[in-house]
Structure 1
């Protein structure tokens, strides 16, 4: 059974008095909070759609917490691809640590995620004064520290170290949400631990086609070749690779055809599936009023000791109902692993086939219909026609990435106006939060084809204009996945206002 430790003295979270909580410089208004909320939701919708769907099941009173935690995770995940050297990465990680500490001290920086997190903490203080937000702070800082440790994409020596990584990132995100819901239960932590480990391991499998492929070639503004921002890396555990006879260089050269590759992916994916099976069995036992089946390996660690936790079934059932939405994180991982199995554990073919299936299920035809008119877009100059190629954006003169993000639409239409809206929204959001060096200055939109069939409208946003000499991308990346991708109706539009007013070089995109 779980060990239950009773505290002799209950610790209370000491909130600063409202008059001392914020200086005039850091005052947060309702307008600020609303804009921060929309920013975080937009980030999830664009880059973490699984979380965007799950957020609807989170209790409305704590949905802001979920949005802030997941948006923060996205920022941390993106950092390795955005920095040119480890020192810059460490500085950015320190920024997030300082931001967390200042926000919990009542001094949130003018940054959307921290503004929304500050609102969460204020609501907790108002509605649940007995809550302990220091637990949330502990989990968020642990996630930041773990992400920083693995910024260099170092290999995992063993499968158990991969599990530790997943515990300190994905499981920790779930612990943060349980803390925001004021759920203090060893049973819930135990379930979150197994589900989070499954999610983390599945995420590593998902990332193989991206990280194991060479970074796209880039050129400087003067046409010179620029060293790629990263080298390819394979994050499968070294002990599994040794067991299956898999060599990294074989994957870089031959992709999924490398000897032992699919066997290695199978063994790693099986461990993720084992955690999901364990979580299901635990949930079944707990609901039946029985012992979960095995002890929780982290029960004696910091922030996992709860006075009077999980004494009887009458205490557990309400907690399961209250926190069940947090456990839904296991559904996308379950779905991914099932689909990976249908692809014979070849993640290189999985992603494109998945998108294609969803595209077909949505009932879209084989031809994307252009919206009328295509001659102009409000507020932008263009179109300038590229034909069947797209921009291959170089770094700017400071060696910084000028790509500001991408949007994809699978609704069977081709409408440059919605790409313009995305570019305008990106600029307004960045300027609102003082990010003047991240202005969307132009966009390139086109119809992406797969095997000769219209597939989606793709829109790439940039912080700097590049002329037609940089339109060299033909979709060759898709050929590495045994898919023949190409472009059609490639046009670009630029923001005249930005052209004349934002003439300095831009920082990295997020």
Structure 2
């Protein structure tokens, strides 16, 4: 069923003209020529745009599966731009994540993405490396067709300059980080939808914090000792728990359970605040907030597992998530 939905959405996303075929070779970044006159610049541009859109879609599916499902359910006119923004966010996140990335290399990668934002806003940047990078090419297309705030894009990059081994001092600092990363992306998606509404912005801010905190909690068992756990130091001190105990996350550890509960409660509070604004959010952009469904699902599974991060129900995918998302989308709710 998911494969059928994906194929249907691919046809809606690309809307290729008859006689044109876009093929991506497995395991390569090579672009195939369309079955048209190669001298036709317009046809070549269609080929490039088609490849970039498919590349962004595949990138989000591989590294951000839950948001991939959410983006598939967006209206057709928002889908391509949404995949471009989410793919850009994935690339920025991957620049600093990994077990063998040195700090200097991470800084150079972030510098590349930061400078690329300015390139995408320049009218003559099609002659630069932006044209050769599929994610940047799609981002430039989005910037050229929508009015996006460059500040939000820059926040996606600058927020990740924070060293992964640097612990959060307080829950407030954790919330500020998730607002810069996750909330900024939601605010960009609202701009793609052409909506500038105070209530929608507030909902995006709260939902971004909830989604960000839940995502960081989920990353603790996967990251191990390569990065500091997202549990703030003030929470660890109040319960007398070390970071090592959080990483080990053994069952029946009351102190660790209390720490995870405090942080998960902060995420749940922001999720409730976002949903309280549901009726005040313009109906045409409510599907942008479908990530609330996945966040709520994880927090509920974590609660049932007694806040054990390594429980099998918390480290695997939610098999019922596609059905939940479709049901919420059907009634235009989040």
Same-fold status (TM-score > 0.5)? yes
Report 1:64-83 matches (<5 A).
Answer: 64-82=80-98
Q: Show the counterpart of 2:264.
A: 269
CA separation in 2, counterparts of 1:151 and 1:183? Answer: 34
Mapping 1:143-158, distance limit 5 Å: 143-148=156-161, 150-158=162-170
The two structures have a TM-score, normalised by structure 2, of 0.76
Does structure 1 retain, via aligned residues, the 8 Å contact 2:218–2:315? no
2:272 & 2:55 partners in 1: Cα distance? 36
Which residue of structure 2 lines up, in the alignment, with residue 174 of structure 1? 186
Task: Please name the residue that 2:109 is paired with.
Answer: 92
Q: Which of 251, 265, 289 is equivalent to 1:327?
A: 289
Does the CA contact (< 8 Å) of 1:246 and 1:258 recur in 2?
A: no
Secondary structure of 1:358's aligned partner: coil
More strand by share: 1
1:140 counterpart (137, 140, 153): 153
Distance 2:111 2:138 in 1: 19
Partner Cα distance (1:203, 1:352) in 2:
11
Change (3 A) 1:197 1:254: closer
The structural deviation recorded for 1:341 is 0.6
Q: Aligned pair in 2 of structure 1 residues 208, 174: CA closer, same or farther (>3 Å)?
A: same
Instruction: State the shift of 1:255 in Å.
Output: 4.1
What are structure 1's unaligned runs of at least 5 residues? 1-26, 125-131, 215-230, 287-318, 363-510
Q: What's the counterpart of residue 202 of structure 1? A: 214
Which residue does 2:60 correspond to in 1?
44
TM-score, length basis structure 1: 0.51
RMSD (Å) for aligned C-alpha atoms: 2.4
Of 233-242 and 345-354, deviating more is 345-354
1:61 pairs with 2:77: yes
Q: How far apart are residue 232 of structure 1 and its match?
A: 5.1
Question: Match of 1:338, SS?
Answer: helix
Q: Whose helix proportion is higher, 1 or 2?
A: 2
Q: Which sits farther off after the overlay, 57-66 or 85-94?
A: 57-66
Cross-structure match for 1:358: 319
Is the contact between residue 179 and residue 208 of structure 2 (CA under 8 Å) also seen in structure 1? yes
**Structure 1 residue 325, shift from structure 2 partner:** 1.2
Give the Cα separation in 1 of the matches to 2:294 and 2:171: 21
**Deviation digits for residues 31-69 of structure 1, max 9, x if unmatched?**
111111111111122221111111122221221211011
Pairwise CA distance, 1:138: 1.5
- Cα distance in 1 between the residues matched to 2:251 and 2:187: 35
Which one is further off, 231-240 or 38-47? 231-240
